[in-house]
Structure 1
């Protein structure tokens, strides 16, 4: 059984349930006949009588406790699948689909009318992994979206502009750590309209593209203007990192031409194009680069 098989059977039994249905041969249809012993093959066709459909409906109801006549697809969530079936992995969503990673430089999360202590003097922590859907109120004035995971544990170690010091920091997410990008973006869409949304990313085309596409983003957090040239020309800057970001650079140039960006962001785009260089968040930290906020528009 798979999600595709369930949907295939659901579509079949709802098609003229009191009549015989002929379908073109397919791997899914053949697996239904083999698995449930309903229907038969005739040349390159699969034949399902009204009785076959009735039996298929009964067998799936018995297996899942779900009537495929009224439910086209199995639940998305593993816990919901577990209520009906022994194989929770039939769920569409991975176990971590709604998880986000959050932190705050002052070690206190202000969420759901609570103040939650995070930082420990004894254990370095990247923050708290939690469900985005479990947050129904954010009392932080600002939210900082972080591009790179290692930076999350260092949020209290940077010298930050005042707007970032007591902010909620959230990891943008990826496909490996368990913190999901979709969950991060969902949180920003729900709460970002009346918050200062700050994007802390690499100083490179991809980092700026992220800043320009984050929901409700107001500011980019990065090296002070006076440090741009030194950073991009330093031996720690990456030219190969820039070279693999041509599509992001094209996006930035297109957006820049619309004149909707602030002067500092436009200036940085042009300098990135000139220097063909990338300067990462990790280097900002280890080389103690002073950070500033730049309005995006």
Structure 2
């Protein structure tokens, strides 16, 4: 069971109901504990003896005593120490506590690193970072571009900036956790693909100050994908209704070209990148 399903079962055992609606979580629970005979149409109808039986089966399956034990807290090692067999049910994932960092010059004083070789990065616990030593944080959308950060044609003011990989889902949560912890004086820069999804990522990043992006060139427009642009219609709709401030001219021009220009092409063509502050 996943965390959601486990919590559904925990609530049922603690606050017993004779029948519940059959939904995806309950279907997974029925599959795990072979409760198919209790299913009647869109409902699951229990007998009272099922409460003790389900409680015991959950114990045997390593989920703990759902009647007495609270939901797991902390990270996976904490959950393992508590005796939980499935440590992945812990609410804090590894990606939420750590971030990948690099810098073009190779120095990361915030992580106590004097020199990184090109294409090297460090994975650091957010709690161990000297946050006061970060002046500029650049959030990079794609991992392979982050790995080639040393090749990026940056404006001079970002030469010593700390770069981090944004990632997806739980990885992105780690970056958001870092942003929450940073002093208000830190400049937050987002470097995305130049397309609707990329601009939406930038606009919805907490505390964002600036966008790092390229100018439209004939070469980049030629390799841009109209198919990918058209697939991002939901992000385009979001941007049309959003307050884009100083980014509005960029969005207007992007809609004119109807191209998705990837970060990888920006690096391959060695184009100069520039900062566009959100507010002038």
Q: Which residue of 1 aligns with 2:18?
A: 23
CA RMSD of aligned residues (A): 3.6
Distance 1:213 1:56, change over 3 A: closer
Q: Which residue of 1 aligns with 2:159?
A: 165
Q: Report if the CA contact (8 A) 1:109-1:168 is conserved.
A: yes
Q: Which residue of 1 aligns with 2:39?
A: none
CA-CA distance at 1:205 after TM superposition: 1.5
Secondary structure in 2 aligned to 1:206? Answer: helix
CA-CA distance at 1:182 after TM superposition: 0.7
State the aligned residue count.
264
Distance 1:188 1:31, change over 3 A: closer
Residues of 2 paired with 1:65 and 1:268: CA distance?
Answer: 51
Residues of 2 paired with 1:267 and 1:22: CA distance?
Answer: 57
Distance 1:11 1:278, change over 3 A: closer
Secondary structure in 2 aligned to 1:130? Answer: strand
Q: Which residue of 1 aligns with 2:273?
A: 291
Any stretches of 5+ residues in structure 2 without a counterpart? 21-25, 36-43
Residues 72-122 of structure 1: CA deviation (Å, up to 9, x unaligned): 3233632122111343244355544433211111111122xx63134226x
Q: Report if the CA contact (8 A) 2:106-2:115 is conserved.
A: yes
Residues 274-297 of structure 1: CA deviation (Å, up to 9, x unaligned): 111122111111111011111112
Q: In structure 2, which of residues 189, 210, 213 is the aligned counterpart of residue 219 of structure 1?
A: 210
Q: Which residue of 1 aligns with 2:216?
A: 228
Residues of 2 paired with 1:239 and 1:276: CA distance?
Answer: 6
Q: Which residue of 1 aligns with 2:140?
A: 146
Q: Which residue of 2 aligns with 1:72?
A: 70
Distance 1:22 1:221, change over 3 A: closer
Q: Report if the CA contact (8 A) 1:22-1:46 is conserved.
A: no
- After superposition, where does 1:1-297 map in structure 2 within 5 Å? 7=7, 11=11, 14=14, 23-24=18-19, 28=29, 44-48=45-49, 68=66, 71-75=69-73, 77-83=75-81, 84-92=83-91, 94-111=93-110, 115-120=112-117, 124-125=119-120, 127-135=121-129, 137-174=131-168, 180-191=171-182, 193-223=184-214, 227-233=215-221, 235-255=222-242, 258=243, 261-262=245-246, 265-297=247-279
Residues 222-261 of structure 1: CA deviation (Å, up to 9, x unaligned): 12xxx4242553x222212211111122222222xx4x51
Distance 1:136 1:47, change over 3 A: farther
Residues of 2 paired with 1:65 and 1:246: CA distance?
Answer: 42
Q: TM-score, normalised by structure 1?
A: 0.73
Any stretches of 5+ residues in structure 1 without a counterpart? 16-20, 35-42
CA-CA distance at 1:270 after TM superposition: 0.9
Q: Report if the CA contact (8 A) 2:139-2:189 is conserved.
A: yes
Distance 1:133 1:231, change over 3 A: farther
Secondary structure in 1 aligned to 2:240? Answer: helix
More helix by share: 2
